[in-house]
């Protein structure tokens, strides 16, 4: 099979500032206190994803999941190691990412779709479908700075799922929004997965990962803790809860996705 994503010995070092202002830093230095430090958000992470695989990326908050996805999407460069991807990548790594608050929903659709690699002709052809999926109705020509967090999610996800892509990333997409919209998003992601697109799905919910994925990767404090079948991966994280709902219903939190460093 063809490799869709190849992550080889990837590490990412970040600076951590303890004081914000020059005055605070000066006082801290006079007192002999540290003003900054470094930490490894990712530490020698290696794995390969074949085209068409559905990967559940799991881990506690702060484990490095979003940092890893940003490397896969090309938003970040590793301190060491390499990330190679094949084809067009779509999806969301943060609700409303790439939106300009002073631009209207209509204008942001064109801008965000262009960022994701769509041509103006493609956007014109899919605009009505994107607008129908987003369900922002009369607010389409209103600046998105006036949108609720749920409307942000609707618009961002609507654009992402209409991009013809080889890899689809879903991180924090469903953290907001009502249950009918969450179910609609889950159904659409199932369609994307079943079409042969590689799926990277970030979730803290065991049942939704079981439903969506055929493999689990677990990050622990920036390290690759587990890479294998879904059920062992969930047990490795101790997320397996016998009382968890079996299906995505209005009381289920399975659709909720997490975000962190």
| Residues contacting 105, CB < 8 A, separation 6+ | 134, 136, 139, 140, 141, 142, 144, 147, 155
DSSP lists the bridge partners of residue 10 as: 45
Instruction: Look up residue 253 and give its DSSP letter.
Output: -
Domain membership of residue 34 (yes or no) is no
d(CA 254, CA 261): 21
Instruction: Look up residue 171 and give its DSSP letter.
Output: S
Task: Answer yes or no: are the C-beta atoms of 5 and 217 closer than 8 Å.
Answer: no
| Residues contacting 68, CB < 8 A, separation 6+ | 7, 10, 42, 45, 57, 219
d(CA 259, CA 257): 7
The domain containing residue 176 runs over which residues?
Answer: 51-237
Domain membership of residue 14 (yes or no) is no
> 174: domain CATH number?
3.40.50.300
Q: Which two tokens stand for residue 101?
A: 């608050």
Per-position pLDDT tens, the chain of length 261: 789 999 999 999 998 766 667 777 777 677 777 666 788 999 999 999 999 999 999 999 889 998 999 999 888 999 999 999 999 998 876 656 668 889 999 999 999 899 888 999 999 999 999 999 998 888 999 999 898 878 888 888 899 899 999 999 987 555 556 778 888 888 888 999 999 999 999 888 888 899 999 999 999 999 999 999 999 999 998 876 544 444 444 334 343 433 345
Domain membership of residue 108 (yes or no) is yes
Domain membership of residue 38 (yes or no) is no
Domain membership of residue 91 (yes or no) is yes
Task: Answer yes or no: are the C-beta atoms of 161 and 192 closer than 8 Å.
Answer: yes
Specify the number of domains making up the chain. Answer: 1
Q: pTM of this prediction?
A: 0.78
Domain membership of residue 244 (yes or no) is no
Q: Which two tokens stand for residue 225?
A: 């803790």
């Amino acid at each position: 099979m063809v490799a869709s994503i190849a992550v080889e010995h990837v590490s990412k070092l970040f600076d951590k500032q303890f004081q914000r202002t020059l005055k605070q830093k000066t006082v801290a230095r006079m007192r002999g206190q540290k003003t900054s430090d470094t930490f490894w958000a990712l530490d020698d992470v290696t794995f390969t994803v074949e085209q068409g695989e559905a990967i559940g990326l799991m881990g506690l908050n702060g484990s490095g999941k979003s940092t890893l996805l940003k490397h896969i999407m090309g938003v970040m460069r590793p301190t060491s190691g390499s990330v190679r991807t094949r084809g067009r990548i779509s999806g969301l790594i943060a609700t409303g990412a790439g939106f300009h608050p002073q631009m209207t929903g209509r204008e942001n659709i064109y801008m965000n779709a262009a960022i994701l690699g769509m041509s103006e002709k493609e956007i014109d052809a899919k605009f009505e479908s994107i607008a129908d999926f987003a369900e922002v109705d009369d607010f389409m020509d209103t600046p998105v700075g006036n949108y609720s967090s749920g409307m942000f999610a609707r618009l961002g996800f609507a654009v992402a799922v209409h991009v013809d892509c080889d890899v689809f990333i879903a991180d924090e997409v469903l953290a907001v929004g009502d249950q009918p919209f969450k179910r609609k998003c889950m159904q659409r992601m199932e369609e994307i997965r079943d079409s042969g697109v590689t799926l990277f799905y970030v979730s803290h919910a065991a049942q939704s990962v079981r439903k969506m994925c055929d493999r689990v990767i677990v990050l622990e404090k920036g390290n690759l803790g587990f890479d294998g079948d879904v059920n062992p991966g969930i047990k490795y994280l101790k997320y397996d809860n016998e009382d968890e709902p079996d299906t995505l219903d209005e009381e289920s939190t399975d659709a909720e996705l997490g975000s962190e460093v």
